[in-house]
Amino acid sequence: MSIVQVQIPDSLHKSLSDLAGRDGISIDQFISTAIAEKLSALMTENYLKDRAGRGNREKYEAILAKVPDVEPEEYDKIPTV
């Protein structure tokens, strides 16, 4: 484990304390979870950008052309208003 000291405004600390208490966890646990969620979101964004950069429009269209052009089953249709 590592220790990180951060100065935050009193109002933010109060909100943090209230939310952690409402969830029944410590402030440390709340902050660790928040950091993990943010890291996960950023890593996912980078992964998707990387995957998108490796995409090939011509290959995509060639595969899509193989899909039959038929109406979807009734249960699979999007309802219209």
Pair 1, 12: CB distance under 8 Å: no
Q: What token pair was written down for 72?
A: 């979807």
Q: Cα angle vertex 78, ends 77, 80, to 5°?
A: 120
Q: How many residues does the chain have?
A: 81
pTM for the structure as a whole: 0.63
Q: 27-53 and 10-23 are packed helices; what angle lies between their axes, rounded to 10 degrees?
A: 90
Q: What is the pLDDT of residues 28-68, one digit of tens each?
A: 999 999 999 999 999 999 999 999 999 999 999 999 999 99
Q: What token pair was written down for 74?
A: 């009734």
pLDDT value at 80 more than 90:
no
